[in-house]
Amino acid sequence: MADNSLPSQLDIDSLLHLLKVGELSEIHGLLPWSSNYTFLAGITHGELEILTIYKPRRGERPLWDFPDGTLCQREVAAFTVSEALGWCFVPPTVLRDGPQGIGMVQIYIHHDPEQHYFTLAQNPQYRTIFRRIVLFDHIINNADRKSGHCLLDRRGNVWAIDHGVSFHTQPKVRSVIWDFAGEMIEPALLEDIQRLADNLARDVLPRALLELLDAQELEALRSRMRKLLDTQLFPQPGPGMSYPWPPV
């Protein structure tokens, strides 16, 4: 079984190519405590072998507020937005066929399960990444930012995972990270958001977003970015349920 944080010898394009064309055949088993079918799977291409997370569309639990069969697409859209912002903390993710049909396939991050947002939040080393994750969650309208969805890999990098319930047109943000609420957003982060907002306004969109989100979801995405740029403040918790359960 392969063991990796991210394969250090491969760049992002090579990783995405491997995810798209590699043989996804060895299913090691279901991951426990997942609300949808989530498999740990091996993928090989030539002499390369890595571990991946495979979430097939047919294993998605129906939700009353999200269209059926779209959660895997939203995972890929979240990776696309992270890359477009230049923040790059969502593991490489693609939509492809597999043993259980079409689904999301993402690089598995070999991480320390004892470490997550609550254990890392007070460490100044990770303050910048968590501030970006907060803004990212509001941009994609993430309805499920649990503490355990922030992974610390063996090299000390933090990764953000599990974005299937994102990109809804109505406000849905539920998160354990409200530490920065009301603070000013740093100019460098605003510049990143402005760059993507300008591209969205000109319909200069990554192809994945055009294929994975509908027109209303794309307009809501634009609107959320405009609001952040207008206020220049980290958002406050909303009047409804703003925290996920369970929190970890």
Check: CB of residue 117 under 8 Å from CB of residue 129: no
Q: Which helix (H) or strand (E) holds 107?
A: strand 103-107
Global pTM reads: 0.94
Identify the CA nearest to 138 among candidates 210, 78, 59, 195.
Answer: 78
Angle formed at CA 40 by CA 78 and CA 125, multiple of 5 degrees: 55
Q: What sign does the CA torsion over 56, 61, 62, 65 have?
A: negative
Q: Is the pLDDT of residue 1 over 70?
A: no
CATH topology of domain 12-231: Transferase(Phosphotransferase); domain 1 (1.10.510)
Structure tokens that stand for 98 in this block: 């597999």
The burial of 168, by beta-carbon neighbours within 10 Å (0-12 exposed, 13-18 middle, 19 or more buried), is given as: buried
**What order do you get walking across the sheet with 103-107 strand by strand?**
23-30, 39-45, 48-56, 103-107, 93-96
192-240 residue pLDDT tens: 999 999 998 887 777 778 889 999 999 999 999 999 999 999 999 988 7
Q: Is the pLDDT of residue 3 over 90?
A: no
Check: CB of residue 55 under 8 Å from CB of residue 101: no
30-56 residue pLDDT tens: 887 777 899 999 999 988 889 999 999
Structure tokens that stand for 30 in this block: 């279901």
